[in-house]
Amino acid sequence: MKVISRSKMAQEKVKTLQSGYTAFAETKELSERLRQELHNLGIDYIEESTNVGSWFIPKK
């Protein structure tokens, strides 16, 4: 089984958002890392939280 680090997952999701697509964070920890990455890069986004995770939607 291959293990993927959460920071690498967050970086991949940031790339998805930078391409103009939405990204889904399955865990609270991943959501926090993604928020931090987006803040550090100055990327505007909308976050929609549900009971199973959070959607990150890029602002255009």
What is the chain's pLDDT, residue by residue, as a tens digit (60 residues)? 777 788 899 999 999 999 999 999 999 999 999 999 999 999 999 999 999 999 999 997
pLDDT of residue 23: 96
Task: Indicate whether 26 belongs to any domain.
Answer: yes
In this predicted structure, what is the pLDDT of residue 5? 85
Specify the number of domains making up the chain: 1
Is the pTM value of this prediction over 0.75? yes
Is 53 inside any structural domain? Answer: yes
Residue 31: inside a domain: yes
Q: Is residue 14 part of a domain?
A: yes
Residue 24 resides in a domain: yes
Whole domain around residue 33: which residue ranges? 6-58
| Per-residue CA distances from 33 to 1, 44 (Å) | 23, 15
> Over the range 25-59, which residues count as b (16 or more CB within 10 Å of their CB) and which as e?
beeeebbebbbebbeeeeeebeeeeeeeebebebe
Query: Is 37 inside a domain boundary?
Result: yes
Q: What integer pLDDT is reported at residue 25 of this predicted model?
A: 95
What's the pLDDT score for residue 45? 96
**1 lies in some domain:** no
Torsion of CA 18, 21, 24, 30, to 10 degrees: 0
